Structure 1
Amino acid sequence: MLRHIGRLVAVLALAVLCLQLWFAGRIALMNWIAPQSTSFQRSEALRLMKEKQQVPWAQAWVDDAQLPRTLKRAVIASEDDGFAEHGGVDWDALKGAWHKNEKAQARAEARKAKAPPKVIGGSTITQQLAKNLFLSGERTLLRKGQELIITLMLEGLLSKQRILEIYLNSVEWGEGLFGAQAAARHYFHMDAARLGSFEAARLAVMLPAPKRFERQPGSAYVINRAGLIVGRMNSAQVP
């Protein structure tokens, strides 16, 4: 019996190791080959096909040189102001998000609220890319653990510049709308390379909830928040 359990554990350990090596190999290739799609994009395409029987889609890869510094600064200022310095995980941000979520949960329980409180994330740009590239959207400890491993692989095998390039070309900016070039054309009728500071800041504001903000991309919240981001852009460190 113990021998069978030992063999099972060994097989599982080997399977986990092979999976990690597969992730590492895929990431290493991204130094030269841009990913054709992400796990999140494929799941979105499947959802759209099931719900709408069609897949409205817009995405166009642009190289790092065509990604404006204004957009890089805006996204870093809005999403991850320590991007150029941390090793993939901002532990202080995670700790802060954990405490905020605990307080929100306690308030919800005190009010006996039926709906769960909104979960506040502390993910870095690299963590967001790790999740989007390979993982599902479920919130489990196992998935978060795998996200952490992939995050460290991304940081170890790719440059910060390449991580940001892949992120800006694959992140969602609306339903079926992915990447900076498609977003710039959709919202401002221009190429991403021509985005000014305020347009870039407006796109950055949308990233946490693009499907919600795309309904009113010129709402008072988006405009006001974009103004705040513009004020922080000069201090954003771009790799």
Structure 2
Amino acid sequence: MSTHHNPPTPPRWPISAILRNLLLFFLLSSIGLGFLLRWLPPPTSGVMLYRHAEDLLGHGLFHAIDYRWVSGDEIAPAAYLAAVAGEDQQFFRHGGFDINSIQSSLAVYSHGGKLRGASTISQQVAKNLFLSPSKNVIRKGLEVWFTLVLELLWDKERILEVYLNIAEFGDHLFGIEAASQHYFGIPAKKLSRPQAALLAATLPNPFKLKAAKPSGYLIKRQQWILRQMQNLGTLH
């Protein structure tokens, strides 16, 4: 009499366990990546990859990106001061999120005004480095997480250094060095205060605010940043 043995049933992982493991992997890998990038120059960024995807999906073409990493001491002090003056004057005082600016923006919106951006430099680095320009609730949540990672693992000087190196200054133009060479024909180390202020003035929207052909609004914003730089004096 022959007997048949059924093959063992492979274990089944419940969905909750799979999701928990995926979440744990994401948290640990993002912390590990943030730890590495505390010292290593990022080879690319989420926004750069997004621009490549736009090119390939929209036009079927590949356009090279001008991205030139430089160390912190190869960037003019005026560029650091202009970025803080124009984008986040509380940068060295907050822990990644400017609560007062967020509350002010929400108050204006609740009274019928336009919802203003209140992203800090730390948030912008998290968004530009790890994510894409698309806006949705999930991406905003990820932005908050990566901002916490950066604030935990990096010092403020590193955040600002990476910010200036990966910021988008024009069409397929990333970083203060590439922008300095493209617009002024000089390295970032030699930027003057007016030049640094002009570049910082374009950061909210470098496609609309063009450093090559400054509009009246851009000139006014540059002058405002120069006054803020004078008022700040130093970064700390």
TM-score between the two structures when normalised by the length of structure 2: 0.87
Give aligned-pair identity as a percent. Answer: 34
- Equivalent positions of 1:209-224 (< 5 A) are 209-214=205-210, 217-224=213-220
Gaps of 5+ in 1: 1-5, 108-117
Q: Which residue of 220, 225, 232 maps to 1:229?
A: 225
Paired residue secondary structure (2:90): coil
Paired residue secondary structure (2:207): helix
Corresponding residue for 1:32? 39
For 1:92 and 1:206, the matched residues in 2 are separated by 24
For 1:148 and 1:33, the matched residues in 2 are separated by 22
Tell whether the 8 Å contact from 1:58 to 1:176 is kept in structure 2 after alignment: yes
Pair 153,93 (structure 1): closer, same or farther in 2 beyond 3 Å: same
Paired residue secondary structure (1:75): helix
Corresponding residue for 1:238? 235
Tell whether the 8 Å contact from 1:84 to 1:237 is kept in structure 2 after alignment: no
For 1:172 and 1:209, the matched residues in 2 are separated by 9
- Is 1:10 the equivalent of 2:17? yes
Q: CA deviation at 1:217?
A: 3.5
Q: Which residue of 30, 47, 56 maps to 1:49?
A: 56
- Is 1:151 the equivalent of 2:159? no
Amino acid at match of 1:19: F
For 1:124 and 1:236, the matched residues in 2 are separated by 20
Corresponding residue for 1:91? 99
For 1:237 and 1:13, the matched residues in 2 are separated by 46
- Is 1:23 the equivalent of 2:56? no
For 2:21 and 2:110, the matched residues in 1 are separated by 37
Q: CA deviation at 1:77?
A: 0.5
Amino acid at match of 1:89: F
Q: CA deviation at 1:215?
A: 7.4
Cα deviation code 1:153-194 (max 9, x no counterpart):
101101111111111111100110000011111111111111
Q: CA deviation at 1:100?
A: 2.9
Q: Which residue of 175, 181, 196 maps to 1:179?
A: 175
Tell whether the 8 Å contact from 1:198 to 1:230 is kept in structure 2 after alignment: yes
Q: CA deviation at 1:216?
A: 5.7
- Is 1:195 the equivalent of 2:203? no
Tell whether the 8 Å contact from 1:56 to 1:176 is kept in structure 2 after alignment: yes
Q: CA deviation at 1:98?
A: 2.2
TM-score between the two structures when normalised by the length of structure 1: 0.86
Amino acid at match of 1:152: L
Q: CA deviation at 1:136?
A: 2.8
Pair 139,101 (structure 1): closer, same or farther in 2 beyond 3 Å: farther
The structure with the largest helix share of the pair is 1
For 2:188 and 2:229, the matched residues in 1 are separated by 17
Root-mean-square deviation (Å):
1.9
- Equivalent positions of 1:50-89 (< 5 A) are 50-52=57-59, 53-89=61-97
Amino acid at match of 2:132: S
Q: Which residue of 128, 135, 147 maps to 1:132?
A: 128
Gaps of 5+ in 2: 1-12
| Structure (1 or 2) with the larger CA radius of gyration | 2
Paired residue secondary structure (1:212): coil
Amino acid at match of 2:209: F
More RCO (CA 8 Å, sep 6+): 1
Q: CA deviation at 1:36?
A: 0.4
Tell whether the 8 Å contact from 1:81 to 1:237 is kept in structure 2 after alignment: no
Of 7-16 and 18-27, more deviation after overlay is shown by 7-16
